Homo-oligomer: A and B are copies of this chain.
Amino acid sequence: MRVASGAELVVVPVRHSGAGEVLLWVEVASIFWTERHMLNWEPWAAGRIKRLPMTFGHEVAGRVVAIGPEVHHLRPGVFVSAEGHVFCGFCPPCRSGRAHICENLRILGVDFDGGFADFVVIPERNAWEVDKRVPPDVASIHDPFGNAVHTAFSGDGADELVGATVVVLGCGPIGLFAVGICRAAGARQVLAVEPNEFRQGLAKQMGADAVIDPSKEDPVQSVRTATDGHGAEVVLEMSGVPRVIDQGTRMLAPGGRMSLLGLPSGPVALDLTDQVIFKEARLIGVTGRELFRTWQQMTTLLATGMVDVSPVITHRFPLDRFGEAFDAMASGRSGKVILIP
């Protein structure tokens, strides 16, 4: 599949795996806004994509079918999920255990050919062997599930979740995953804020104690009421909407933590004095997943059944019906949409 203000399914040669790389036979992939932005050739995509045509797709799982030289830990036949962030290993963040904010980060399906294809080549160290208890569909959503895990456990980590009131702002797939994760990690109550009725239903299925519809009630007030006026200890911001981010700070209890994963497209005005400084609140930027601590956590959460993500996977399409898949994703009546090559 190649993109240039649109996409088409074409035959391309399979690249050989180079040193330290593995060739995967893709069994399942899933789509995200990243791909939709590229499909629509939005300004971000036009500015970022360096080479056309290019195969896209960054959420992918498949079986190793060939290995390049200097591959020492994987063998053909192993079923793996791809970490889409390729890191250099030598810059200051990489050298201090923060490879996910590598200064030379390259992204699968954005900066080099991705996985909406029969085959894809990735570095061995970006291939995570999938636990046998995790079904293939689920294997393809490690990337966004990892976003949710990393966001939930950011700041002071799980210690802040046990017994806490957690608010999840925005219930796209990542927000929905976060609901289930916070449940599993011992939150006292998980409150989901989401205007879309279909997603409200999914939030309840994922274990939300209450779903707040911001088109019908003031979410700040509702959170205050649900917490006897104290506010929420943890807010996970998945919407990227400036007004919602501002509301998030107003829901926070003194000493609370708001983790920011959603990407606002412009400046966000905040009342820092009353909502952050006097409350000693913390705003924590979050991106990607920790390499590979988050993957270890994901394996536990998914393989042991602590989090059941199946309600979130709402649609499956063969790869050649990718147009329908993107329509489903944009329909407002979907969770995660999966492609089968």
Chain A positions within 8 Å of B, measured between CB atoms, are 19-20, 69-70, 72-73, 88-90, 92-93, 95-98, 100-101, 103, 125, 153, 155-159, 161-163, 184-186, 188-189, 230, 240, 245, 253-255, 260-261, 263-265, 267-273, 276-287, 290, 292-293, 295-297, 300-301, 304, 306
Contacts and interface: CB of A to CB of B under 8 A. Distances in A.
Contact of A270 (B101, B163, B268, B293): B268
Contacts of A290: 97
Given A90-B125, A158-B162, A267-B270, 15 more contacts: A92-B230, A92-B296, A93-B255, A96-B293, A101-B254, A157-B157, A162-B300, A163-B301, A163-B306, A186-B186, A267-B269, A269-B269, A280-B287, A282-B283, A283-B283
Contacts of A292: 95-96
A100 B19 CA distance: 25
A234 B341 CA distance: 42
A285 B272 contact: yes
Contacts of A96: 255, 292-293, 296
A293 to B, nearest CB: 4
Given A70-B19, A285-B282, A272 B293 contact: no
Nearest to A293: B96
Contacts of A98: 254-255, 280
B285 A279 contact: yes
A214 to B, nearest CB: 20
Consensus secondary structure, chain A interface: loop
Contacts of A89: 125
Contact of A272 (B95, B155, B156, B264): B264
B277 A285 contact: yes
A255 B287 CA distance: 11
Given A268-B272, A272-B285, A296 B70 contact: no
A161 B163 contact: no
Contacts of A153: 159, 162
B95 A73 contact: no
A1 to B, nearest CB: 27
A285 B96 CA distance: 20
A69 B19 contact: yes
A215 to B, nearest CB: 24
B296 A285 contact: no
A306 B188 CA distance: 8
Contact of A162 (B103, B276, B281, B297): B297
A285 B276 contact: yes
A293 B97 contact: yes
Given A158-B158, A162-B158, A265 B254 contact: no
A263 B273 contact: yes
A157 B160 CA distance: 9
Contact of A286 (B186, B280, B295, B296): B280
Contacts of A304: 188-189
Contacts of A245: 272
A163 B296 contact: yes
Given A73-B88, A162-B185, A163-B300, A277 B254 contact: no
